[in-house]
Structure 1
């Protein structure tokens, strides 16, 4: 019996290999996660289909949503996250703000403020 792959939506996924939104896609994929890149301007990231918003992600439940966008963008997106029944919301360095954390917690989301790439045992420097 195969185990379900963990799922992650990467808000702010990028095609620029120097940006953390791209490094995260590669790091999570290398660790066997099912990765859903989210970026309103892209159709594909690292060979994976990209979704223009989190509502378009074809999963009813996500283990993790990780943010690689400025806090003001995160404030616009965070309201859509609870509909995906998310276990954890990660606000990576540069994406967090007191307002965003407060709003996420008010929505009942489990917020972690840390680097999600390091959390899965990878280093952004390696990508």
Structure 2
């Protein structure tokens, strides 16, 4: 099962970078999407809204004011769940996701991985 990291960055000081690194170390397949080029955890960062399949989880590292252009794309990916990491909480997107049967969690991916609840 794949995890889409929206807001991926090659900056090792950012939580999105740490999440990509840790997800791969825990054996999860990742897809990085962000506005900065580069790679994280050996996976290139894709730009825009690429065609993707079999996304189980979306973990957000993009603030709410930047999420609206991605709503339709994210919802059409039909992930099982969307994780709203600290600072990405968005009641509107959460409501739209739940209306499509997508589970939403306000949580920290890093904490979830560390505690075995991912």
TM range (shorter): 0.7 to 0.9
User: How do 1:1-127 residues align onto structure 2 when only pairs under 5 Å count?
Assistant: 6-57=1-52, 60-121=53-114
Structure 1 unaligned residues grouped into runs of 5+: 1-5, 123-127
Equivalent residues of 1:90, 1:116 under 8 A apart: yes
Equivalent residues of 1:38, 1:52 under 8 A apart: yes
Equivalent residues of 1:8, 1:62 under 8 A apart: yes
Structure 2 unaligned residues grouped into runs of 5+: none
- 1:101 offset after TM fit, Å? 2.2
Q: How many residues align?
A: 115
3-state SS, counterpart of residue 18 of structure 2? helix
CA distance in structure 2 between the aligned counterparts of 1:84 and 1:98, rounded to whole angstroms:
19
Measured against aligned partners, the alpha-carbon deviations of 1:69-110 in whole angstroms (never above 9, x if no partner) come to 110112221221132231111110100132332333344422
CA distance in structure 2 between the aligned counterparts of 1:104 and 1:82, rounded to whole angstroms:
6
CA distance in structure 2 between the aligned counterparts of 1:8 and 1:20, rounded to whole angstroms:
15
